[in-house]
Chain A
Amino acid sequence: MGHEPVAVVGIGQTKHKKRRDDLSIAGLVREAAQRALDDAQMTWSDIDAVVIGKAPDIFEGVMKPELYLADALGGAGKPVFRVHTAGSVGGSTAIVASHLVSSRVHKRVLAVAWEKQSEGNAQFGLGGGKSGSIGAGGAFAPWIRAYIRKSGAPEHIGWQIAVKDRQNALRNPYAHLHLKDISIDKVRESPMMWDPLHFLESCPSSDGAGAIVLTDRAGGEAAAADGRPPAWVLGTSMRSEPSSFNGRDPIRPQAGVDCAWDVYKQAGITDPRRQIDVAELYVPFSWYEPMWLEGHDIAPVGEGWKMVDRGETAFDGSFPVNPSGGVLSSNPIGASGMLRFLEAALQVRGAAGEHQVDGARVALAQAYGAAAQYFAMWAVGSQLPSS
């Protein structure tokens, strides 16, 4: 007996903002979760188990918030799981939930990931609570410099991605940043935050949450019969590697390559560039778009920036990346991976509204964390997998 097919039948997210001062943390996660339940035409009592993900607890100063949030997510008397894999956690949370269904442990699982960055300060948190934090931008900037130098990419590539994702975000009412007058000039002239990264090539700090409801084959087919086509999970994978050892390639980490091919294999994908219709990749700093195109073998090594330069990753390109606006437009850190995963599901359900990519049947979602060392990826499709 193989794995149970898994269907995403409910999707919800908050309006992401710099500061959701209208909500408690419980209110924030419930806004996303209630929307996912409504979308699935379910109530709290229909859910068998809850999976909660977020990034480090120091960001809000609430230790083990899953305990505080268990009843806010209808978890009384049910199994509740916490997932924590740094920045990739939103993706890992979706994957853990999908495994609870695919292994037939539970039939209907709610997965919620969130961050309320405005309660604390991520620079402080990432700097271990000390002065002189280099933040995520300072940690990734040297690798970005190495990518630029090795690939010979012109510097406008980073600016172009910063503009593209912000223009995509204008189509997404939930996105934090709606920069109507974004332009290459504006990005280039914005302050240099972490040389070589400009301010507008960097993600914002957001409050937000994302949620999905996953169910089994019968649940997915029932939703489809009711005119609510689900997203079917075609493959999932999580991989990691140590942050620091001689011989590591931090520009194209082996864990990221392995994670991608594990997903491709499960999904029957041999040529990701042709067989995937749209991708949501975790791009908190503009240059990570070509780095992940190469890091997941969507483009040959050294060629990712050329895909960008030719406009192939634009909304109307042949391989759209981040039609939601991506992490560059909304970054509730713990939820950011979930937003990639749920956007991929929205796309193959044909339910992405203004940011719907025409003909999206197979979508890839990816999230990464810490020193580009934790990876979570899934592929979802509009059709029930045949195996």
Chain B
Amino acid sequence: MSTQTSSTIQFPYKRTLGPVISRFFSELTAQRIVGIRSGDRVIVPPMEYDPETGNQLAEDFVEVGPAGTVVSWTWVAEPGKHHPLDRPFAYALIKLDGADTNLLHALDAGSEDAVSTGMRVVPRWRDEPVGRIDDIVAFVPGETPEGPAAGEAQDVQTMDYFSTITYTDVLSPTLERYAASMRAGVIKGQRCPQCNRVFLGRGYCSVDAIILGEEHEEALPDFGVVSNYTIVTPTPYPGQKETEPFARASVVLDGDEMVIAQQQIIGIPVSEIRVGMRVKAQWFPAAERDAAEITSKGWGTVAGFIEGWVHTGEPDEPAEQYMNRVF
């Protein structure tokens, strides 16, 4: 059975819309749809430039719709969580009255039988507009828009865009063995038969491009020397939990073959961390070791297995020979 690890990345992006899309969204908050004139055509939603030539368009806005005609459509029988509606609906290309281009939007028509090319549709407006394309909740069949009475237009200059994505990694055989070995409290590296360099959970030599397998694996020491470090003053950003300066150190394992980057040094203030300091791994208790941080990007990590590194109390080693070893 192969191990899968999963990770979610999310971020609240903030878009600046520029003069043309700002106007489009501002008008939407008052239940008006505007396009922009480009020669003889009216483009909806409006654009800053002619999409065929790249030429800048004058900001000559034209109100269109709100009713329009379905030009083409496809039925979504089983909507997922990212779809705009939670019941079966159509995605439709809609040519609004007065427009020369088609608008893509959801069409809430109840059943597939109720949808046809050439049918007339109108917006169902959102109760409380926010200045986004889903201020039109969906189009619906007919000639009379649905929703509350139109209010005053808001000045919409930006758009919040909350992005979230979840990745699933299936671990390679190399990483499977690496994770098993780390669970047992042993760091195993792979030694390249050509250049003799050691790599962690990578499965190949990044210098010689030789595939490395189980036969190239050997246990490495879990103690070594701090080769370099930085103390980071954290800046706030969504998801940032650090508030105080924190240190990240690189540790060269004894034998000078493997460097493990971005490690925490435990038990001393960050101001006392120094190059040449001898340290040993502090493993998490066996039951708490966790492979969640291991991904198939070709990088071994000790995160989830080794909590940090503690000073052994031995004398420091000369710094200069180690300082280049950071990653």
Contact A150 B323 (CB under 8 A): yes
B78 at interface, CB cutoff 8 A: no
Residues of B within 8 A of A179 (CB): none
Contact A142 B18 (CB under 8 A): no
Q: Interface digits, A247-272 against B, CB 8 Å rule (1 contact, 0 not)?
A: 11111000000000000000000000
A72-B49, A143-B326, A244-B259 known; A124+B18 contact, CB < 8 A: no
What is the bound-complex CA distance between A128 and B13, given in angstroms?
15
Nearest-CB residue, chain A, relative to B199 = A245
Nearest-CB residue, chain B, relative to A75 = B54
Contact B250 A142 (CB under 8 A): yes
Residues of A within 8 A of B261 (CB): 244
Residues of A within 8 A of B248 (CB): 134, 138
Cβ < 8 Å to A, chain B residues 284-314: none
Nearest-CB residue, chain B, relative to A131 = B241
Contact B240 A131 (CB under 8 A): yes
A72-B54, A142-B229, A146-B324 known; A132+B10 contact, CB < 8 A: no
Interface 9-mer from A114-122, A230-238, A313-321, A336-344:
A114-122
Contact A246 B198 (CB under 8 A): yes
What is the bound-complex CA distance between A43 and B242, given in angstroms?
50
Nearest-CB residue, chain A, relative to B273 = A195
Looking at chain A's contact residues, the main secondary structure is loop
- In the complex, which of the residues A27, A128, A194, A245 contacts B233, with contact meaning CB atoms closer than 8 Å? A194
What is the bound-complex CA distance between A24 and B163, given in angstroms?
18
B320 at interface, CB cutoff 8 A: yes
Residues of B within 8 A of A24 (CB): 15-18, 20-21, 48
What is the total number of residues of chain B having a CB less than 8 Å from a CB of chain A? 60
Contact B230 A124 (CB under 8 A): no
What is the bound-complex CA distance between A371 and B324, given in angstroms?
13
Q: Interface digits, B134-174 against A, CB 8 Å rule (1 contact, 0 not)?
A: 00000000000000000000000110010100000000000
A354 at interface, CB cutoff 8 A: no
A16 at interface, CB cutoff 8 A: no
Cβ < 8 Å to B, chain A residues 51-78: 58, 60-61, 71-76
What is the total number of residues of chain A having a CB less than 8 Å from a CB of chain B? 63
What is the bound-complex CA distance between A21 and B238, given in angstroms?
20
B53 at interface, CB cutoff 8 A: yes
What is the bound-complex CA distance between A138 and B323, given in angstroms?
15
Contact A129 B233 (CB under 8 A): no
Residues of A within 8 A of B230 (CB): 134, 137-138, 141-142, 145, 194-195
Residues of B within 8 A of A222 (CB): none
Contact A244 B18 (CB under 8 A): no
Contact B206 A45 (CB under 8 A): no
Nearest-CB residue, chain B, relative to A77 = B52
Contact B13 A247 (CB under 8 A): no
Cβ < 8 Å to A, chain B residues 43-89: 48-49, 51-56
Nearest-CB residue, chain B, relative to A120 = B13
Residues of A within 8 A of B126 (CB): none
What's the minimum C-beta distance from A149 to chain B, rounded to whole angstroms?
A: 6
A24-B21, A119-B15, A131-B239 known; A195+B326 contact, CB < 8 A: no
A311 at interface, CB cutoff 8 A: no
What is the bound-complex CA distance between A143 and B259, given in angstroms?
14
A224 at interface, CB cutoff 8 A: no
A22-B16, A138-B230, A244-B327 known; A61+B161 contact, CB < 8 A: yes
A243 at interface, CB cutoff 8 A: yes
The number of inter-chain residue pairs (CB within 8 angstroms) is 165
Cβ < 8 Å to B, chain A residues 79-122: 116, 118-121
Residues of B within 8 A of A19 (CB): 16
A218 at interface, CB cutoff 8 A: no
Contact A124 B239 (CB under 8 A): yes
B207 at interface, CB cutoff 8 A: yes
What is the bound-complex CA distance between A250 and B125, given in angstroms?
58
Residues of B within 8 A of A26 (CB): 18, 48-49
Could you say which of B9, B15, B258, B262 has the most chain A C-beta atoms within 10 Å of its C-beta? Answer: B15
B210 at interface, CB cutoff 8 A: no
What's the minimum C-beta distance from B238 to chain A, rounded to whole angstroms?
A: 7
A27-B18, A135-B232 known; A119+B13 contact, CB < 8 A: yes
- In the complex, which of the residues B13, B48, B157 contacts A72, with contact meaning CB atoms closer than 8 Å? B48
Contact A132 B206 (CB under 8 A): no
A192-B231, A251-B324 known; A246+B161 contact, CB < 8 A: no
Contact B242 A30 (CB under 8 A): no
Contact A61 B11 (CB under 8 A): yes
Contact A132 B246 (CB under 8 A): yes
Contact A120 B11 (CB under 8 A): yes
Nearest-CB residue, chain B, relative to A122 = B237
Nearest-CB residue, chain B, relative to A147 = B323
Residues of B within 8 A of A250 (CB): 324, 326-327
What is the bound-complex CA distance between A371 and B325, given in angstroms?
12
Residues of B within 8 A of A249 (CB): 324
Nearest-CB residue, chain B, relative to A248 = B324
Residues of A within 8 A of B157 (CB): 21
What is the bound-complex CA distance between A61 and B161, given in angstroms?
9
What's the minimum C-beta distance from B190 to chain A, rounded to whole angstroms?
A: 13
Report 28 cross-chain contacts, Cβ distance below 8 Å, ordered by A residue: A21-B16, A22-B18, A22-B19, A26-B18, A26-B49, A27-B18, A34-B56, A43-B55, A58-B11, A71-B51, A74-B54, A76-B54, A119-B14, A121-B238, A123-B237, A124-B11, A124-B240, A128-B9, A129-B10, A142-B228, A142-B326, A145-B275, A194-B231, A194-B233, A244-B327, A245-B197, A246-B258, A251-B324
* Chain A residues at the B interface, C-beta cutoff of 8 Å: 19-27, 30, 34, 43-45, 58, 60-61, 71-76, 116, 118-121, 123-124, 128-135, 137-138, 141-143, 145-146, 149-150, 191-195, 242-251, 371
* Chain B residues at the A interface, C-beta cutoff of 8 Å: 9-11, 13-21, 48-49, 51-56, 157-158, 161, 163, 197-199, 206-207, 228-235, 237-242, 246, 248, 250, 256-259, 261-262, 275, 319-320, 323-327
State the 7 A-B residue pairs at the shortest beta-carbon distance, nearest first: A74-B54, A24-B18, A129-B9, A142-B228, A44-B54, A146-B323, A141-B230
